[in-house]
Amino acid sequence: MSDRQWSALMMGDESYAGARSYYELKDSIVKILEFPYFLPTHQGRAAENVLFSTMIKAGDVIPGNSHFDTTKGHIEFRKATAIDCTIDEAFDTTKDYPFKGNIDLDKLEDVFRTYPKEKIPFVCVTVTCNSSGGQPVSIENLKNVYALCQKYGIPTMFDSARFAENAYFIKLREKAYAGKTIKEIVRIMYKYADIMTMSSKKDGLVNMGGFIAMNDKELHRQASTFNIMFEGFLTYGGMSGRDMSALAVGLNESTEFDYLETRIKQVEYLGFKLIDYGIPVQYPIGGHAVFVDAKKALCNVPKEQYQAQTLGIELYLEAGIRGVEIGTLLADRDPITRKNRYPDLELLRLAIPRRVYTNNHMDVIAAALKNVYDRRDKITSGYKTTWEAPIMRHFTVELEKA
């Protein structure tokens, strides 16, 4: 966190109800995101738990763009189904397309036509779309998705962990918004959302925290009950006063162009270094991470032996650098057939902590991955699971060499 965030933290108000820190956060959310109602939660998945308890029932479908793992977990835990409507361009890592997080409107309308309105509680738009490689969604797409949702009477929800990075990419890649500030772009983005959840650990620039925000007073009332049950009273919901104060400042800092430029350019620096070494990555490079295409990098490892996980383990053994599999382990088993789901993308995510590393560190990561890549012909087998949890197995899975 920045010096300003730490200062705000020292001044936190820990009163049980109606703390000044709560109002600081409320003001920040009203000003930056323009939602009149919000509920603090202890992190992003807690926001999902509260909101989905309010809105999702068994048998529902939730269309979206490559739902995040905890989001999908919370949907499937409620015996509902996440339907991926991401554009096809996202699944070809070599294709240069500015907004690979976009939702395919035809796929979305197909869902609207196939299921009755009562079975679609909302559409979940992830900005940026983490699981397809930290890829942004354009304003044009957000606008069209919102119009289509309005036509069918379905609310739009933004999963907003990387909303500021999304706004940065809009400024750089969507002509109509090149002259706007990040804060102006953020306000335009959220004109096209009825509800949002946020993991504040990402673009909130804090170590822990989250929230749900919405335009509808009645939804706020209904969700409040679950917030009180699961998280805490309405004016802290699992967060300390000091954490709310630090988040209020963080939202303001992450929506500044200079912060975003420094961060995203560092991620890009690593990405281009890997490209120079011939390593296959999702292109364009994502906002918070470089995503290595493990299907291409370790093509001798059978997909049943988890290519991206194998690459992650090799990199860790090589240099102690820890990436994360966004592939078959994370895609989990089909809840009904219990068979492995093999996603179109098998990625190793190298997420870069903000405000921590120098580009020299990026050079080390790139060199380590190059060493692994250079001996890829010798890596012919991967791993098998020896234990896995019934849902969201990738968090705790146990593996041994296949």
Ligand X SMILES: *Cc1c(COP(=O)(O)O)cnc(C)c1O
Binding site for ligand X (CB under 6 A): 43-45, 68, 70-71, 126, 130, 159, 161, 199, 201-202, 210
- Residue 151 annotated in active site: no
Between 70 and 240, name the residue whose CB sits nearer to ligand X: 70
Tokens linked to 196 = 């949002």
Which entry of 202, 273, 288, 295 is annotated as an active-site residue? 202
- Closest approach of Cβ 68 to ligand X, in Å? 4
Which letter, b or e, does each residue of 287-320 get, where b requires 16 or more Cβ atoms within 10 Å of its Cβ? bbbbbbbbbebbeebebebbbbbbbbbbbeeeee
Catalytic residue of the set 82, 161, 213, 351? 161
CB of 160 to ligand X, least distance (A): 8
Indicate the residue among 167 and 372 with the shorter CB distance to ligand X: 167
C-alpha of 148 from chain center: 23
Nearer to ligand X, 209 or 280 (CB): 209
**Residue whose token pair is 């860790």:** 316
Q: What whole-number distance in Å separates Cα of residue 377 and Cα of residue 120?
A: 47
Closest CB to ligand X among residues 19, 196: 196
202 is catalytic: yes
- Work out whether strand 61-64 and strand 81-84 pair parallel, antiparallel, or are unpaired: parallel
Q: Is residue 394 among the annotated active site residues?
A: yes
Q: What string of DSSP letters covers 251-266? A: HHHHTSHHHHHHHHHH
The CB-of-165 to ligand X minimum distance in angstroms stands at 11
Spot the catalytic one: 60, 104, 159, 203.
159
Residue whose CB is less far from ligand X, 162 or 171 = 162
Least distance to ligand X, CB of residue 158, Å: 10
- Beta strands 123-126 and 156-159 are parallel
Strand segments (E) across 264-320: 289-293
Active site residue 37: no
Q: Measured on CA atoms in the order 99, 105, 110, 116, is the torsion positive or negative?
A: positive
Put the strands of the sheet holding 156-159 in their side by side order: 37-41, 210-214, 195-199, 156-159, 123-126, 61-64, 81-84
DSSP letter string over 173-192? H-GGGTTS-HHHHHHHHHHT
**In angstroms, what is the minimal distance from the CB of 101 to ligand X?**
10
Output Rg (C-alpha) for the chain, integer angstroms: 21
Token pair recorded at residue 390: 């019934």
Q: Which is nearer to ligand X, 44 or 382 (CB)?
A: 44
Residue closer to ligand X by CB (options 71, 102) is 71
Residue facing ligand X at closest CB distance: 44
Q: How many CA atoms lie within 13 A of 142 on its CB side?
A: 29
How many other CB atoms sit within 10 Å of the CB of residue 376?
Answer: 17
Whether 288 sits among the annotated catalytic residues: the reply is no
Query: Minimum distance from CB of 66 to ligand X (Å)?
Result: 10
Q: Are 252 and 28 contacting, i.e. CB atoms less than 8 angstroms apart?
A: yes
Nearer to ligand X by Cβ, of 46 and 397: the residue is 46
Q: To the nearest whole angstrom, how small is the minimum distance from the Cβ of residue 128 to ligand X?
A: 8
Instruction: Out of 22, 52, 68, 306, pick the active-site residue.
Output: 68
Question: Which amino acid belongs to residue 253?
Answer: E
Alpha-carbon torsion angle 317, 390, 130, 262, nearest 10: -50
Write down the catalytic residue from 19, 22, 26, 69. 69
Rounded to a whole number of angstroms, the minimum distance from the CB of residue 179 to ligand X is 28
**HSE-up of 196 (CA within 13 Å, CB side)?**
29
Catalytic residue, candidates 16, 176, 191, 384: 16
Give the number of other CB atoms < 10 A from CB of residue 326. Answer: 31
Active site residues: 16, 68-69, 159, 161, 202, 394
